Amino acid sequence: MIDRTQKLSVARQAKLLGFSHSSVYYSPRPVSDGVWH
């Protein structure tokens, strides 16, 4: 979806696709076992 090699900025590409550019950089952290118990 997002191509960082394009001349168009990541923020602009995200806006055109309809989502926040911060979500492009988001990487979920693993959930610890204690959270589910």
Question: What DSSP string describes 1-37?
Answer: ---TTSSS-HHHHHHHHTS-THHHH--PPPPPGGGG-
Q: Tokens representing 23? A: 């979500």
Q: Indicate the number of domains in the chain.
A: 1
In a domain, 9, yes or no: yes
pLDDT of residue 37: 58
Question: pLDDT of the chain along its 37 residues, tens only?
Answer: 778 788 998 889 888 989 887 777 777 777 776 666 5
- CA dist 34 and 37 (Å) reads 5
For residue 35, the model assigns a pLDDT of: 63
pLDDT score recorded for residue 19:
85
Residue 33 lies in a domain: no
**pTM attached to this predicted model:** 0.54
Q: Is residue 32 part of a domain?
A: no
Give exposure, 10-29, as e/b (b: 16+ Cβ within 10 Å).
eeebbeeeeeeeeeeeeeee
**Could you tell me if residue 35 is inside a domain?**
no
